[in-house]
Chain A
Amino acid sequence: MSPSTRNQVFIEMLETLSRDYLQGKEDVLRLSVIALLSGGHILIEDLPGLGKTTVALTLAAITGLSFGRVQCTSDLLPSDITGLSVFNRDEGQFSFQPGPIFNNIVLLDEINRAMPRTQSAMLEAMEERRVTVEGVTHHLPGPFMVFATQNPSDQSGTFPLPESQLDRFLICTDIGYPPRALERGIIAGGGIRERISDMTPLVTQDDIMTARRDVHSVYLSDKVLDYIHALIIATRSDELIQTGLSTRAGINLAQASRASAYLAGRDYVAPDDVRNTAVAVCAHRLVMRGGELSASERGIVLRTIIDRIPLPLV
């Protein structure tokens, strides 16, 4: 299969998911797959009960990837995530018991409830894709993706992620309430948790690894590159923004745009790809002037900046 047809698998997968399982969550699904295909992590910032966990579970089920879950609390220790060495009396030596992070898709629920020490351990693992426990380095499995969630409303007893940590998430998005008709249908039909275990994977681990390579070779023309760069520069000089986008943000935006183009069935990046992913990729990285703003408010600021920059059409 050529790169231009291989992406059909993922396009079909997305269609199946949003048609049969996760109605009304196309955007977050697409962004999750973008994160998966560009090797990044995703932070979902929304209220409980809107299907954050279901999205992660469904994605794991349909890709046939292993799934691990960490419910973060303030007493969560780094070893609770990474695993620890336990003395094996039979063998007479310590053996490493891998933690939940040794899965392909790891759900870090309510990540802002964990202590900073634990947060930083997790984030280090996310960045390095390996875990060092008692001097031994353990590599994390093939496709590795973190699904972190965060509850924006409940701020007591939480440790908000610092900006430097937020930068490590490729994408940050919300889910939002489903449309009225859909929500009624969901309530009527009950959750889909039960059906998840029955799902047959539509893509394999190999498909994902190949797709990641394909995404990497999606053509990014100078015009679009200029557009991305113009966007980053514009955030740095906006009066509402204290700290604009970093170079890493630019790299990530290009990656996500490539994946977006791949999912749109193209082997080149169009400015539309950049525009469609920019808020999800960039908004959470902005440090605003005049106190904290929620992710959606930052998204609005970024959207106005994006609208100011003309798309390169020629």
Chain B
Amino acid sequence: MSSFLTQFEIFAGSRIRLSFALTALTLLAVVGGAQPPETLSDPALDARYQALIREVRCLVCQNQTIADSNADLASDLRREIREMLVEGASDGEIADFLVARYGDFVLYRPPLQPNTWALWGGPAAMVLIGLIVFARVMRSRSGQPLDDDELDEERGAMP
């Protein structure tokens, strides 16, 4: 940082500008300092860490993952996960740890179990019902004469 400052000093060539630069740099340092780099030195472990924190919901700000969130709790949970990874916990163990404390809701991808069948199966069931209804309507319309109601609609008459 000092070498950068020296270069900047030469560039700016004025004490006033330098003081501005120092203020700006201090502000940057303050803002940047709020989030020290949270990485793990082992690249394989870090990759797992980065993937894990994108799967965990921040419960304070429910539509963010703990990777995205600046909330205090999110940073505590990230720290906890880092510590567990370093201690050699598997991804499954970490997920179990979080679920035991915060429930399935903490995972962005809830496990497939009886109380989530509707959640996982719901969309497919909806599509299936839609297809069945669609097929029946198509079959009943093909080749069959219109009934009175439909004739009325065709003519634009009041039912």
| Same assembly | no
Interface residue ranges, B against A (CB under 8 Å): none
